[in-house]
Amino acid sequence: SDIIGMHVESETQGNLYYSIYSSSGEQVVSNSEQVNIGMNNISISGFSQLSSGVYMIKVQTNECVVYKKIIKQ
């Protein structure tokens, strides 16, 4: 699938930035989206163009930074 869905809760309205990094640390996807107060559904696209392997997604808001490991088969 080309889209990864994430649920992000935010205490403020603003921008959310996300990046996908390869296992070698290279940034392969980067984008931003607006978030509102409360629960937000974020769709991260561009995943189908990547090779199989392990990737890290970095999600950053004004409040925090979260890293998630994903595996593309």
N-term to C-term CA, the chain: 10
pLDDT for the residue 66:
92
pLDDT for the residue 51:
92
Q: Which of 1, 53, 47 is nearest to 28 (CA)?
A: 47
| pLDDT per residue of the chain (73 residues) written in tens, 0 to 9 | 678 888 988 888 999 999 999 999 999 999 999 999 999 999 888 778 889 999 999 999 888 899 999 999 8
pLDDT for the residue 34:
94
pLDDT for the residue 1:
61
Q: What DSSP line would sit under 37-55, residue for residue?
A: SEEEEEEE--GGGSPSEEE
